[in-house]
Structure 1
Amino acid sequence: MSLRLPLISAVMASAGLLLFISSRWPASLRYRYDWCRGIALQWLVAAGGCVLVLLSDVRYHGYYFERSIRPGDLLQVRLEEPVQAKKKTLKTIAAIRYVISGNTRVPAKGRLLIYLQIDSNAMQLRQGDQLLINSNTVPVSRSGNPGAFDYRRYCAWQQIYRQAYLQSSAWQLLHEQDECFVRRWLRESRIYCLQTLQQYIGGREAALAAALLIGYRYELDVDMVQDYTNTGIVHIIAISGMHLAMIYGALLWLLSWWPAHRFSDVTKGTLIIVLLWAFTLLTGGAASVLRATVMFTFLTLGRFMLERHTNVYNTLAASAFLLLCYEPRLLLDVGFQLSYLAVLSIVVAYRRLYYQWQFDNKWMNKCWDMTALTLAAQLFTLPVSLYYFHQFPLYFLPANMIAVPLSTVVLYGEIVLLITGRIPVIADVIGPLLKIIMQCMNTLVAQIGHWPGALIADMHIHLFSVLCLYACIGGLLLWIIHHRRQGLQLTLIAMTCWTTGEMFLRLNEQHQHKMVVYNIPGHTVVEMVNGHRIYSVAGEVMADALYDRYLKPAHVVYGATYRGMVNTCVEACTFPGFRVLAVGNKRLVVVDSVLPEMHPEKKLRTDYLLLSHNPHVDIRQLEQIFDADCYIFDASNTLRNIQQWKSDCYVLTLRFFSVPDQGAYVVNF
């Protein structure tokens, strides 16, 4: 920040100076060089955005906890999320409130990813509880495997940079209650919603109901989520702008009896805005919900208070500007991007598509209306969806046609259920009815998800391809809507660039030669990439689930079309305690057991030395036997052994690479 902030300040000062000087030019000169003022203004806005990004980074804040902790200090934290059960641990996110050093308690800021040892006390922790923990934190881990999801980067955009694993004796529950009224009301409201839904609906449908209503997704069934993902309607179970639009429409309908009057309009507008923001806070304030809330706030202000009709493009741009000023990192949030692209796509294409066909039959017209809306929403979201998720649900249209109406009924029914939750006679009727509707919806969605060819997977595209796709879409819209021949020319140019880029990419793939040591906990896997062929060099055979999670994304990225066995490309020499493998024009030594006492006259020359499955060896012993360019510690070793080996390498000034710490080891040759 010490270097970037002065540079950004210099850009802002230059842009401001240019704007000031240009304002003193004669009118004729200002008109001729007005583009200079435009460029200066863009510089000023962009530099201001960079300043906001830097200033919003908690690491540069004076109270960031890493600036003040010392060995032996404690951290007082508050749990921001419910505790989630994983395979071997419990996971949650905590906000740091104080650094405790001796008898001193210093206010601190920051967020921490916490993994807890599973026990009865940890299972009883709830959102909002405060804990006293030790300050032994490490950077957020990541696999670093090619094509894998970068979890460290994902956490960083949420301002989470450190994580901690806490055994049962490493934390203590504090009985402090210093929540503000709003936070306490939101927590109690959320608890009431969850308890009511569980009481009157129950089962996995209660978890689905909680996700539909308040965005509580921590108890969703994994198979059910996969069914909704395969059919392209996962937005149904992720609280979004669609849900807020339903609530906004319901509020307008409920308040339609109120006679129009200046005072009543202001009261209605205020009530709608308060209820919308209360619902947004209750759901946790996801990016898509914030977008919809800000937009509906502008619409309400214009309609009920200012008596003006707003331009939807201005409203969309203003809401994005305000949200990015509040949190600049939302720009890279997938939900934020898809939400704005979907709304922009609907605004641009929905009406034009809908009026292409009109039906005399009322229900046919409504069906076409929903179809046009669904198709229009896909126009601008498709390239981004392919870029992030690498798949395309082929039957998204019938799935939406079924799930959207049913989920609308469920959402309104849940609101009625919560209102009548204290009246068992009514709630006992509504709850089972909602459960039956959700069971029907889940069954239909699951059946659609298992139709032949329901999901086209492994569609890996690069950012350049995304830009070309948007250029094609923009050109087609310009040609079809405005009848501009330049739009067709732009489309053809974009398609040519896209095809040329893909051709160069495939040519590069044919000439690639890599060695990859994967980061798979408890396993050793080393592969060699040779063109479009991938060979297993060392390690065990992966189960299907592990292959799909760790290896398949890398094979898709590298364009692998063939997987070979170890004996097709490797000449292996086995000695007591280690193996010597030829990987292309490099030599790899794998040490996975105890080495015998060896005192060679000449050290064995190797490019890479891989320690696997916790061999009882000492780095000094290895250094006397091997002349290795790089020592590699893979994820099959314990962290304690890796830490000891790293310390020895530091002392002996040996080059090393720790796969669990630094991610998969990829080398080109």
Structure 2
Amino acid sequence: MKFINFAVVKFSTFVVLGILTAYFYPIPAILIYFVLALLFGVFLLWFWTRKQLIQNIYFGIAAYLCFFAIGYFSYQIRLPQFQPKHFSHLIVDDNPEIIQLKINQSIKPDQFNLKYFATVNAINGIPANGKILLNISKDSLQEPFSADEILLVYASIFEIPKPLNPHQFDYSKYMKNLGVYGQIKISEKAVLKTVDGSKTLFGIAQNFRAKIVQKLHKTKLQTDERAIIQALVLGEKNDIEKNLYNAYAAAGAVHILAVSGLHVGILYLILSFLFKPFLQWKFGLFFQAILIVLLLWGFALLSGLSPSVTRAVTMFSFFAVAKLFNRETNSLNTLFLSFLTLLIINPLWLFQVGFQLSYLAVFFIVWLQPLFYRIGYSKYRFVRKIWAIVTVTLCAQIGVLPLSLYYFHQFPGLFLLTNIVVLPFLTLLMCGGILIVILAAFQILPHWLAEAYNYVIEGLNTFINWVAVQDEFLFKSIHFSALKVLGAYLVIIAIALFLKKMKYRRLMFSLLAISAFITIYIYDEYRTSANQLMVFQKSRQTLIGYKNGKDFVVFKNDSTTNISENYPIKSFKTAINIDNYSEEKLPKLFQYKGKNILVLDSLGIIPKQKNTHTIILTNSPKINLNRLIDSLKPQQIIADGSNYFSYVARWAETCKLKKLPFYHTAKQGAFPID
């Protein structure tokens, strides 16, 4: 590919390395000024060497260190410990405080609460900052809050809890990657006062989107069809039912529901067509570029500025500017330039799945699609169009496959069929959706148009549901570790380089990459083959898992229902790479590594076995724990999530007096028995 600016690629790489270093190894706040002084010296070195006619190695080192430092400190300064006014420095022991909040945006609610991202403005009158997750019970709230609204609440800011079982989705970590370090749970009674705050562009866009959604609710559009339109045009996915979303995911079409570069590209083509008459004017190109960029950013604001949309709009903005000034560029340069720009602005995006998948998909499309397209080139225009869709879909899937397997552990085998059928009509769906949203906003949407669009979306959903139920083509519970992700990308890149230019060195590199992946696979099999006994945390239920090599048995007190696809077993057995799974009735006494383990349930029947290493208390047994400890002399006691908290508190106090280790899974999480 001609005119690749490798400097931008290298600078982006060092910014990423800086961000990752700060993520895993943040420096103490006390050393920040020392490191800043050191980096200032590096900057002076770069400033001095750049004036030389022939650059030496010191210039390159200084330049790369500067970009490394930019990545490091752009992430570091966003951590709470480096923000003097962050709310975490003002709260004490989760005590209730008078907190002033500003609503940023609403997010998908759960079964009981409406949820918002909000900014802390002050605590007890002391200025503060920092983002929190605001949960307000649905039953207590008369009317939802809007963006830019200021609330005065009397509440406590709590940490977002970490998962209580291993290999579960870490919501706390996910929120921290969004810059959210606390949460508030209240009812409307805790809201002391509400006022309108100063308007922001993002807040205006969010409120405008909410009004459009309200007007769409008043049309003849059916529930599922309206939810699809909201997702396609407005980036509003809150109304999509879980079953429908899962069907799109199983069919390999979930990217249609998430406003992304595909939607922005379609919108760019629509706007370019609509503003084509501008090119007949003297300064028409200038006005066309400005209008398209402004409208694209308006669309990005309206859809919530998700990472994938922001990436796409930034790229198209760079393309428009390059075209405006008649500067030569290409997609790869623009991709890395937008990548570098966005990471400097917000380094937290690097850890968001949408951002990662978006850039990987576009990179592999730009890099590999020309190669794939040449292989199947046809003289027939219709065949070329279909082949273009096939190649783009294949390249995007190749680019995101390892990371998708790592995050989601499933692969939709019919993704190609889905995209061949859906993508040709997506432009029509977008155009129709935009028209319907505009007409609904002005409350002039004719019934016949709404019903016609209902019919089209209903047909799309029917096809997606048909693809989704082809279970034999949906591969689930695929174990894929982080090491396998790295190995897979090494293999993909090595083979792609060899196919682009078949040389002996590249062939050897490909073979070495394949050998490395096989080595990683063998190591991963060995690493996950160790035996393990785990007492899981599950409210009102007892679950004990025993892993023996590739076999996994779950002992439970309820033998009527299968829980293999439920929390917390589903993700656990995928993460530990299980081949054979079974469920059995929970025994009262069993051995593990030569140690006797006693399970006491609500009956509280104590066996005659005296040599007991561990006692597991389940279903709130009515026992005298003092007498039990004196009789059996256990080395540790575990209470799982099926017990009453009042009982657990009493047991914990008894064990404290006896100086005996006591573990409660509802507070401390699942317990592995060694």
Give the TM-score of the pair, scaled to structure 1: 0.86
Q: How does 1:351-366 map to 2 (within 5 A)?
A: 351-366=370-385
CA distance in 2, matches of 1:425, 1:547: 47
Residues 335 and 421 from structure 1, CA distance in 2 versus in 1: closer, same or farther, beyond 3 angstroms?
Answer: same
Q: Match of 2:233, SS?
A: helix
CA distance in 1, matches of 2:29, 2:83: 14
Aligned amino acid, residue 479 of structure 1: F
Uncovered stretches (5+) of structure 1, i.e. residues with no partner: 573-578
CA distance in 1, matches of 2:422, 2:551: 42
CA distance in 2, matches of 1:388, 1:497: 22
Q: How does 1:523-538 map to 2 (within 5 A)?
A: 523-537=541-555
CA distance in 1, matches of 2:360, 2:456: 31
Residues 433 and 148 from structure 1, CA distance in 2 versus in 1: closer, same or farther, beyond 3 angstroms?
Answer: same
- The match for 2:298 is 278
CA distance in 1, matches of 2:473, 2:26: 52
- The match for 1:90 is 113
Q: How does 1:65-144 map to 2 (within 5 A)?
A: 65-70=87-92, 71-82=95-106, 84=108, 86-87=110-111, 89-101=112-124, 105-119=125-139, 121-122=140-141, 124-128=143-147, 130-144=150-164
Instruction: Provide, for residues 302-341 of structure 1, a one-character-per-residue CA deviation record: whole Å limited to 9, x for no partner.
Output: 212x232323222111211111112111111111011111
CA distance in 1, matches of 2:254, 2:41: 49
Aligned amino acid, residue 173 of structure 2: R
**Aligned partner of 1:203 among 218, 223, 244:** 223
Q: Match of 1:515, SS?
A: strand
Q: How does 1:387-536 map to 2 (within 5 A)?
A: 387-421=406-440, 427-451=446-470, 453-510=472-529, 512-536=530-554
Q: For the Cα contact (< 8 Å) 2:90–2:123, is it kept in 1?
A: no
CA distance in 1, matches of 2:84, 2:192: 27
Q: How many residues align?
A: 646
Instruction: Provide, for residues 25-59 of structure 1, a one-character-per-residue CA deviation record: whole Å limited to 9, x for no partner.
Output: 9999987x72x654454344223322221211245
Residues 152 and 40 from structure 1, CA distance in 2 versus in 1: closer, same or farther, beyond 3 angstroms?
Answer: same
CA distance in 1, matches of 2:649, 2:179: 27
CA distance in 1, matches of 2:560, 2:407: 25
Aligned amino acid, residue 128 of structure 2: A
- The match for 2:404 is 385
CA distance in 1, matches of 2:170, 2:50: 54
- The match for 2:597 is 588
- The match for 1:56 is 78
Query: How large is the Cα RMSD of the aligned pairs?
Result: 3.5
Q: Match of 1:138, SS?
A: coil
Aligned amino acid, residue 150 of structure 1: D
Q: How does 1:319-398 map to 2 (within 5 A)?
A: 319-398=338-417
Residues 409 and 200 from structure 1, CA distance in 2 versus in 1: closer, same or farther, beyond 3 angstroms?
Answer: farther
Q: For the Cα contact (< 8 Å) 2:118–2:133, is it kept in 1?
A: no
Q: Match of 1:309, SS?
A: coil
CA distance in 1, matches of 2:96, 2:136: 19
CA distance in 2, matches of 1:49, 1:542: 54
Give the TM-score of the pair, scaled to structure 2: 0.86
- The match for 1:575 is none
User: Which range is displaced more, 282-291 or 532-541?
Assistant: 532-541
CA distance in 2, matches of 1:273, 1:280: 10
- The match for 1:576 is none
CA distance in 1, matches of 2:231, 2:401: 24
Matched, 1:552 2:570: yes
CA distance in 1, matches of 2:142, 2:564: 28
Displacement of 1:414 in angstroms is: 1.8
Displacement of 1:250 in angstroms is: 1.3
Q: For the Cα contact (< 8 Å) 1:516–1:665, is it kept in 2?
A: yes
CA distance in 2, matches of 1:81, 1:651: 49
CA distance in 2, matches of 1:21, 1:176: 52
CA distance in 2, matches of 1:591, 1:441: 54
- The match for 1:257 is 277
Aligned amino acid, residue 636 of structure 1: S
Aligned amino acid, residue 661 of structure 2: R
Q: How does 1:634-653 map to 2 (within 5 A)?
A: 634-638=640-644, 642=648
Instruction: Provide, for residues 92-131 of structure 1, a one-character-per-residue CA deviation record: whole Å limited to 9, x for no partner.
Output: 1341434553xxx233323333444442x33632343554
Q: Match of 2:540, SS?
A: coil
CA distance in 2, matches of 1:192, 1:28: 59
CA distance in 1, matches of 2:185, 2:520: 45
CA distance in 2, matches of 1:94, 1:475: 43
